[in-house]
Amino acid sequence: MMTLPTHFIKTVTSTFTGGAEWLARLPDLLAVCERRWGVVIRPSTFTLSYNYVAPATLADGTEIVLKAGVPNRELRTEIEALRLYDGRGCVRLLDADADQGILLLERLSPGEMLTIVTDDDAATHIAAQVMQAMWRPLPAEHNFPSVADWAAGLAELREEFGGGTGPFDRRLVETAESLFTDLLASSGEPVLLHGDLHHYNILSAGDGWRMIDPKGVAGEPAYEVGALLRNPFTLFDEPDLKRITARRLDILAETLALDRERLRQWSLAQAVLSAWWSYEDGGDPADWEPTMRLAGVLAELG
């Protein structure tokens, strides 16, 4: 009998259609993976959220990571993104079965999250360098969602509250809507972005750093920094959030050679969208109020 964390079970069953059935099949699915790839899968030692992730060993003794999830579009675009990145600035995909929701990934070592770097300036520089290493041109044909596709989700906030903004600050929602319209209309050439690049998705690998868990989204590079500015979780305990955010924008603009004001605007619009997504996922104010606070800080920095 496989023992899974309660929060993982709750997340999978509430997020995915057929999630409960998939969880029931998971032991058999892992057994099939062991036979198919000749791997030995050990009990998970990772924090589980939407997917089951566990250490595994290939027949030749190589340590890898196996990731299994309910088959869905996001897992498919992750697989497609990892293939295009091909280990440049990111974890390497060894094999995958999109129909089964299975990924075999290299094991990054030592594999510590960027949160271990306590100097925020240094952590921000590292994240910027990872971005530079991984961004790739988009192929002529692809299935990645666009930033515009994601931004369209903000309209659902208005629908939820009958044209109003409910508990969300009206001024910030209106600002985000206006910014998305303007920024999308003036966007530069899109590239393949991670889409959720932050401290928990950047791991130490040898003497460098590489990212994991790309969403895979088509958009201009300036869009990428928004998730970083909303992390790590301890950021919102900082009394000087405004100074930290301003400093991060300075570093990112200089390191990435991107317009600081455009970075600020994308990040503000994204913060409101992210807060709305958190509301959709459960509605707990503790999940989205900090992000709206950051949106307010970014508005003040304009």
Summarize pLDDT for 91-144 with one digit per residue, the tens.
Answer: 999 999 999 999 999 999 999 999 999 999 999 999 999 999 999 999 999 999
- Neighbour-count burial of 291, counting CB atoms closer than 10 A to its CB (0-12 exposed, 13-18 middle, 19+ buried): buried
pLDDT for the residue numbered 281: 85
Radius of gyration over every alpha carbon of the chain, rounded to an integer in angstroms? 20
pLDDT for the residue numbered 2: 86
pLDDT for the residue numbered 261: 98
Assign domain 6-107 one CATH number from 3.30.200.20, 3.40.50.720, 3.40.50.300, 3.30.300.30.
Answer: 3.30.200.20
Summarize pLDDT for 34-54 with one digit per residue, the tens.
Answer: 999 999 999 999 999 999 999
Which stretches in the chain have pLDDT values below 50? none
The one catalytic residue among 196, 240, 250, 287? 196
Q: What are the domain boundaries of the chain? A: 6-107, 111-300
The reported pTM is 0.95
* Topology of the domain covering 111-300: Aminoglycoside 3'-phosphotransferase; Chain: A, domain 2 (3.90.1200)
pLDDT for the residue numbered 282: 81
> Does the annotation count 182 as an active-site position?
no
